[in-house]
Amino acid sequence: MKNIFIIGVGLIGGSFALDFKKLYPEATIYGIDNNEAHLDEAVKLGVVDHKAVLNDVSKADLVILAIPVDATLNVLPSVLNGIKDDAIVFDAGSTKEDICAAVKKHPKRRNYLAVHPIAGTEYSGPSAAIHGLYHNKTNIICEVEETAFKLQEKALKLFLDLGMRIRYMNPKAHDKHIAYVSHLSHISSFMLGKTVIEKERNERDIFDMAGSGFESTVRLAKSSPAMWAPIFQQNKTNVIETLDEYITNLKHFKTLMENENFEAVYKEMETANRIKEILNGIQ
């Protein structure tokens, strides 16, 4: 693992860079980004060693794409065109179906591994990159059988070195379930933020009344629209389905309140309380 290329030197790509630099001190980390300021910042912060351009991937042993999922659709085939035969390429996108479809017939398909590390924070850019972001996190790998044996093995070692848990899924199932446990959370949070900002526009000091509960539920509303708009676009059908169900549940809750049926309101919350055991189970 001599030459590692990170395309997109933000939170996700930058955090891979920091960990790989530590794990493989002999490696050189190259950064590629269409935001020149971010690239300079990444070098300055020591997140990457050198700036590079797409053509340079011909010397890469490993290429990581950590850019918005719409950009991945275009950049991934070009990267595969340019790499040498034993290089490994993986992405880190929150959608997998469209991305896998985009390279399904690519002659270098077997150099690519479709990856979704379930890790992140609500911050973005090179300064958001942190050591150990991936430690003890779940890493979902899709269509593993489409990747060459030796490169599967190589990639697996990388993820185990990072301390990740590996889960294998097909892209369709990934996109369907991730809509529930990630994409919907982001929309609920963005719209909660919007609702409160709209209402309290002229009463800024009202936010003095907000506690840690509010902060927790609107945390994801700080997320990057440039990252999330393409995710919602690519996972449109699944996300709309989750939104439909969420809206139906909220309307039902409202109807129970309007009908003064607070016994049923109580039961609704009691059912949702089961999330306690479920969350404990995943920790």
Residues 68-107 that bind a copy of itself (CB under 8 A): none
Candidate segments 31-39, 75-83, 102-110, 183-191, binder of a copy of itself by CB under 8 A: 183-191
Interaction between residue 178 and a copy of itself (CB under 8 A) = yes
Return the number of the residue (77 or 193) whose C-beta is nearest a copy of itself.
193
- Closest approach, Cβ 256 to a copy of itself, in A, equals 9
Cα dihedral across residues 194, 199, 204, 210: positive or negative? negative
Interaction between residue 2 and a copy of itself (CB under 8 A) = no
Sheet containing 165-169: give its strands across. Answer: 50-51, 28-32, 3-7, 62-65, 88-91, 112-117, 138-142, 165-169
Interface residue with a copy of itself, options 2, 50, 157, 177 (CB under 8 A):
177
- Residue written as tokens 């971010």? 38
Site for a copy of itself in 202-241 (CB under 8 A): 203-204, 206-223, 225-226, 228-230, 232-233, 236, 239-240
Q: How far is Cα 134 from Cα 123, in angstroms, rounded to an integer?
A: 15
> 127 Cβ partners below 8 Å, 6+ apart?
41, 45
- Closest approach, Cβ 243 to a copy of itself, in A, equals 5
Site for a copy of itself in 102-161 (CB under 8 A): 118-122, 137-138, 140
Return the number of the residue (61 or 122) whose C-beta is nearest a copy of itself.
122
Q: How far is Cα 1 from Cα 158, in angstroms, rounded to an integer?
A: 10
Return the number of the residue (43 or 118) whose C-beta is nearest a copy of itself.
118
Binding pattern for the stretch 184-203 against a copy of itself, x by CB under 8 A and - elsewhere: xxxxxxxxxxxxxxxxx--x
Binding pattern for the stretch 237-276 against a copy of itself, x by CB under 8 A and - elsewhere: --xx-xxxxxx-xxx-xx--xx-x-xx-xxxxxxxxxxxx
- Closest approach, Cβ 93 to a copy of itself, in A, equals 14
Site for a copy of itself in 16-55 (CB under 8 A): none
